[in-house]
Amino acid sequence: MNRTPPELLLPAGSLAHLRAAFDFGADAVYAGQPRYSLRARNNEFRLEQIAQGIAEAHARGKRFFVTSNLIAHNDKVRTYLRDLAPVVELRPDALIMADAGLIMLVREEMERGRWPEVPIHLSVQANTTNWAAVRFWQRAGVARIILSRELSLEEIAQIREACPDVELEVFVHGALCIAYSGRCLLSGYFNRRDPNQGTCTNACRWSYRTHAAGPTDAGDAQPLATPGCGSGCSAPPVGEGEPAAGRLGADFDFADEQARAELARATTGDGQRHPLADRVWLLEEASRPGELMPVMEDEHGTYILNSRDLRAVEYVQDLVRIGVDSLKIEGRTKSVYYVARTAQVYRRAIDDAVAGRPFDPALLEELEGLASRGYTSGLLVRRPAQAYQNYDSGHSAPTRSRYVGDVVDVRSDGWALVATKNRFAVGDELEVIHPAGNRRVRIEGMQTAAGEPITVASGHPLRVWVPLGEPVHGALLARVLPSTPPAAAAACSGQAA
């Protein structure tokens, strides 16, 4: 039976991202002013670019949402209406907001007739996790709720049943935070760059060492080993009053935190915990030797140690069946390649689900061509703790293919001029990624931009000619990586072998 297709919503950090998203299948994009969204870096959308983006989206019959979802302090409340007014006059298709006070101010402007009516979508930053909260925001004039990433498929279905007349949006791909729906303070603590103001430094993905610890009689955490030697060595406990223990802070009480963890762990998951999960651990960040921080682990994992990336393409059919209105992909600071690739893959997944076709496992393989920290389905389906965390690496890496360049021109003989991003060579197999469909080509020759024969394109910012055939205008290129042994591939992708 055919179902109503949900909107496919892609991130746009620039106009180039917007165009790639629409070329490869997106129905809508979201972008925001740097000062008032949670992406102050890698964001070109000032007022002029927002105006152009809205115009281009509407010319294509697509939608453009303006993200304005910071958690505002008084200084930004003071300037907010002044700076948002010209954006609203451009008639975006929605404002994505999180701050209750700002939503109230915007709604007042619209209700008094001073601003045109623009729908408000409630950001994931508002942490909406239940049907009662959905109804509250609906009564406050919000047209769409972007549900918290902490919900399971079952909980989303329950909200849909209880709230049938409000739009629901769900994240299906991209980075996950170690905090509740992105409300994190690590970056603000370490660098004084507040994630809730758009300046996150991804402190959760820095390099940390763990140190075994135990509770003192007073309930504090105390190292069981000499600071700096890690959890694998033994040494006398740090004595009372010594500097390392003193840095832990007086407000951490092991017994109290352990009791809270025990109460919380019964609410989700299968109850299976790692044998070492009940021990106390201290973290030491690489650039701050000797500064030890207590950390607790529950059945979902040790969140300060780098979450895997969300990938829910295999659950698109479930979300379509539930009746979710919009499927959202994270990544306004990611590459144009990332936007094109995810748009293409999730477009196919949605179209298959709506048409009643079974899920195509090849879509999982195609997403392995994107750099990631390993994939997880997050909390959509409850899994053991290890499925959420990447304990080995804080950086992204592709496992199937690597983005190597963009086609910027084509000669009459079928040779394409490629603006290179990464190294590739004659003899390599390239995947040509194009809105009309993808194909693979073995590179049999290469020339410099001036037409001189070469065998290797060393990477950015070189431009080279290669024979690709047609269609190739607007294509992105990825080098197919050598096959990985099954066990290693499972480890890279975050899946069980």
In this structure, are residues 180 and 215 in contact, taking their beta carbons and an 8 Å threshold?
no
What's the rounded mean pLDDT across residues 51-71? Answer: 96
Strands 144-146, 167-174: parallel, antiparallel or unpaired by DSSP? parallel
Q: Is 255:280 a contact under the CB 8 Å cutoff? A: no
Its pTM stands at: 0.76
- Is residue 423 very low, low, confident or very high in pLDDT (cuts 50, 70, 90)? very high
Using the predicted structure, report yes or no on whether residue 131 has a pLDDT greater than 60. Answer: yes
Question: What is the rounded end-to-end Cα distance, in angstroms, of the chain?
Answer: 35
Residue 187: its pLDDT value, please?
63
Q: What is the DSSP string of 217-229?
A: TTS-EEESS-TTS
| pLDDT higher than 70, residue 497 | no
Over the stretch 212-256, which tens digit does the pLDDT of each residue have? Answer: 777 665 555 677 655 444 444 433 343 333 333 334 444 555 556
Transcribe 188-203 into DSSP letters: HHHHS--GGGT----G
Nearest to 67 by CA among 6, 7, 10: 10
The helix/strand/coil state of 52 is helix
Residue 66: CB partners within 8 Å, gap ≥ 6?
30, 31, 32, 33, 50, 87, 92, 94, 95, 96
Pairing of strands 280-285, 292-295: antiparallel
282: closest CA among 263, 265, 302? Answer: 302
Is the bond into 461 cis (omega within 30 degrees of 0)? yes
DSSP string, 229-275: S-TTS--PPPPTT-HHHHTT-TT--HHHHHHHHHHHHTSSS-----T
Q: Are 122 and 146 in contact (CB under 8 A)?
A: yes
User: Could you report the per-residue pLDDT of 95-124, keeping only the tens digit for each?
Assistant: 999 999 999 999 999 999 999 999 999 999
The string over 5-36, giving b where at least 16 C-beta atoms fall within 10 Å of a residue's C-beta and e elsewhere, is bbbbbbbbbbbebbbbbbbbbbbbbbbbbbbb
